[in-house]
Structure 1
Amino acid sequence: MRKHILIVSPASARENNGNWQTASRWVRFLRAVHRVEIAGAWSGPGRAPDLMIALHARRSAASLAAFADAHPGRPAILVLTGTDLYRDIALDAAARASLQRAHALVLLQPAGLALLPMALRARARVIYQSAPSLRPYLRRGQARFADICMIGHLREEKDPLTFIRAAGMVIHPAARLLHIGGALDPTLGQAALEAQAANPRYRWLGALPHAAARQRLKRCHAMAITSRMEGGANVIIEAVTSGVPVLASDINGNRGMLGEDYAGYFAPGDAAALARLIDRVIGDSEFDALLRRQCAARAALFLPGAEQAAVRDLVDNLLLHAPGATTNTKD
């Protein structure tokens, strides 16, 4: 029996960020067996969904509270973002209340489990996000540029200034640093404009459609992620499944995605260390090959079939055990 599932996503297609990509993928995964829609919020009254999936403990707190109060027997899933795990649940009462209201907690990488209260860890499940694999880009001859890209909107949590500063420190003659993302913080946008005017190595491409950003990523020599906090970055998955090695800030969320022994970490905020990694991944073929092998070893974690199966299994089990539930149709 098809059920009505509502995904509450504070981010929309217009923002085109990681939370929106998660919501849109989960809609595709679930529509074959359930009736699914996305909304920015839910407050009732009216016909309530049989199950709610809420992204972001703080920003979806009101929707989750309204649903839990109106329909306490209906299941709710909370997908925890990076700002949830690494800031909000420690500081924000509404975010902590969301943890208590959800019947299941989804983390996007396993390192975040340690941030949850011990009593709630039994409700938690790790579901790695996914991206379709792209055939690696085959370079013909000696390329003029070795592009290193950063994909992420310009906001404090993503720390774009570290990428900008690194562009002024790299020394390899082929290095070019490309930044894809909109200026959510006008001050950071101005910094990017000034860096582009002053440094020919740095180019700010602005916001691009998701498919265009991924094609640009595929053609890059490596991708940098400089974030201060991440729940489980989509861009890491998209790089790995495109055959592009990652240079990552050494934070809990990135380690959960790439593994504890990954060789491409740099200290958060350390632009000089990132610049050295960029020079090395371009100029040292053995180091480049090592990062590519390590990323390829993680690729099986990020297959769409695995994410789809995990999402459907979680949803169907919660629906099956909800009060008054009837057996759902499974494929």
Structure 2
Amino acid sequence: MRILVAGPVPEASDYGNGVTARRWAHLLRDLGHEVRVVQDYDGGRYDLLIALHARKSEAAIRAFTAACPDAPIVIALTGTDLYPDLASAGVDLTLLERAARIVVLQSQGVLQVPPGLRSRTTVITQSMPPIPGEAPAADRFEVAFLAHARPVKDPLRLSEAVRLLPSSSRITVTHVGGVREDDIGDRLRAESAENPRYTWLGPLPRPKALAVLARSRLLVLTSLHEGGANVVTEALAARVPIVSTRIPGSVGLLGEDYAGYFPVGDTEALAALLDAAEHDRDRLYTRIRRQCAAHRASADPERETGSWERLLAEVMPANAGYEGVR
């Protein structure tokens, strides 16, 4: 089958949507399909469109529908589609009504979809092969922050929180991620120069970013919204416990009872949680390590591949005789 994957960033991008598009293309090719990844519809004829991000891929969806009216469409909803809600995010609900299937990346995402469309909504959690661990530094409690500096990521929250830690704390933050605007880059550079607990490395090649994660004792996610963050899956694969804002995108992956949450935007609560994790106060660090281990199976690539294989079988059943138009 010829499949077109349309997304809002180039296939080579290390932003979350680029990472997701590459992974999906790889696993779909492993299933025997011909796959092309684009930002804009390229005018070709395909058996299926998988659109990553309903709002930002709207033009591609409309162009594909006009050119391939009989081909089904799968729309994957991202965090900035789903939250705070579809209408506020600017998602055209008529596009979702045309979709053969809607994909969300964690279980809470289904609740954002209109009730009439939930029967065709599928949860496909993202995956990552196991990441070999590295020995953490003995002289510090290193915390990884892997996030491009966009407002939705609340990128300065963690650096502000570690300023509140007691002087005896050994916590340091290593921030990996790019910037899109000079003003936030200036603020990150200043924070890195002035805050002894915070180091911003800027964007790194993906293997190097994952190496930072693998050697860390914690991953922190400070986002206001997430559709189902790749970095949570990566931390599970690296056996690194997670501290996250209590947002649906994390609750849908880690569960309601996960012990490592703090309220969105609450610097003091984040500082207190980090302090407790460092010293395993009330066995917090032990608990979140065990809870993450219990969720590790959700990051299994075979599980994600199987989910896509079942979805394709539903959308393009074997008796449909798809051959692709070339």
- Pair 1:15 & 2:13 matched: yes
RMSD of Structure 2 on Structure 1 (CA): 1.8
1:72 to partner: Cα distance = 2.6
Instruction: Quote the residue 1:280 is aligned against.
Output: 276
Amino acid across the alignment from 1:36: V
Structure 1 pair 93/148, CA: closer, same or farther in 2 (3 Å)? Answer: closer
Partner of residue 250 from structure 1, selected from 246, 251, 257: 246
- Pair 1:224 & 2:220 matched: yes
Contact 2:82–2:89 (CA under 8 A) maintained in structure 1: no
1:39-95 deviations in whole A, cap 9, x for unaligned? Answer: 111063xx3111010000111001111222332321111111000000462135554
Contact 1:161–1:188 (CA under 8 A) maintained in structure 2: no
Summarize the alignment of residues 1-331 of structure 1 with structure 2, pairs less than 5 Å apart. Answer: 3-32=1-30, 33-42=32-41, 44=43, 47-87=44-84, 89-91=86-88, 94-139=91-136, 143-171=138-166, 172-284=168-280, 286-320=283-317, 325-326=320-321
How many residues end up aligned between the 2 structures?
A: 320
1:150 to partner: Cα distance = 0.8
Structure 1 pair 261/88, CA: closer, same or farther in 2 (3 Å)? Answer: closer
- Distance in 2 between residues matched to 1:301 and 1:275, nearest whole Å: 29
Identity %: 38
- Distance in 1 between residues matched to 2:28 and 2:91, nearest whole Å: 28
1:271 to partner: Cα distance = 1.2
Q: Which moved more, 1:89-98 or 1:243-252?
A: 89-98
- Distance in 1 between residues matched to 2:20 and 2:12, nearest whole Å: 14
Contact 1:88–1:95 (CA under 8 A) maintained in structure 2: no
- Distance in 2 between residues matched to 1:14 and 1:52, nearest whole Å: 19
- Distance in 1 between residues matched to 2:11 and 2:246, nearest whole Å: 29
Q: Residue 52 of structure 1: SS of its match in structure 2?
A: strand
Ranges in structure 2 where 5+ consecutive residues have no aligned partner:
none
Q: Which moved more, 1:281-290 or 1:271-280?
A: 281-290
Amino acid across the alignment from 2:34: R
Ranges in structure 1 where 5+ consecutive residues have no aligned partner:
none
1:136 to partner: Cα distance = 3.1
1:13 to partner: Cα distance = 4.2
- Distance in 1 between residues matched to 2:254 and 2:181, nearest whole Å: 28
